[in-house]
Amino acid sequence: MSSSFDPTGLHTELFIDGAWQNAAGGATFPVENPATHEIIAHVADGGSEDAARAIEAAGRAQTEWAKSTPRARADILRRAFELVIANTDRLAAIMTAEMGKPLAEAKGEVAYGAEMLRWFSEEAVR
């Protein structure tokens, strides 16, 4: 994949209770590329009502997560690691467009975050 920014498939909503949702009231804020001053997206501007919905959904999800086996948790975290690694170029390009971070540094940051997922996937079974 090219390392240039491509907004195709970029979610700008809030991910709450397993689904992408607009902020309550539909509020958004612009995200500007600091190098070009181009608006690259309008992102959901979550407020206290959205936070309350997210907390309630997380509480419900935690009940099921607590019932899962360490191996199942490890497999989920390992899959997340694999997805981040597979999408390194796209994630780094988004970071670069959003904040002007050099692409090589953004790729390093993606790799660092991915390693946290891998480490915790291995710890889950211990």
What is the amino acid identity at position 64? E
| Sign of the CA dihedral running 78, 43, 47, 53 | negative
Tell me which residues of the chain have a pLDDT lower than 70. Answer: 1-4
Predicted local distance difference test score (pLDDT) of residue 1: 35
Read off the pLDDT of residues 27-61 as tens digits, 9 standing for 90 and up.
Answer: 999 999 998 899 999 999 999 999 999 999 999 99
Predicted local distance difference test score (pLDDT) of residue 4: 65
Predicted local distance difference test score (pLDDT) of residue 126: 87
Residue 97 φ then ψ, to 5°: -65, -35
pTM of structure:
0.84
Predicted local distance difference test score (pLDDT) of residue 3: 45
Q: DSSP assignment of 59-79, as one string?
A: HHHHHHHHHS-HHHHHHHHHH
Predicted local distance difference test score (pLDDT) of residue 2: 39
Predicted local distance difference test score (pLDDT) of residue 109: 97
Task: Please tell me the number of Cα atoms within 13 Å of 93 on its side-chain side.
Answer: 14
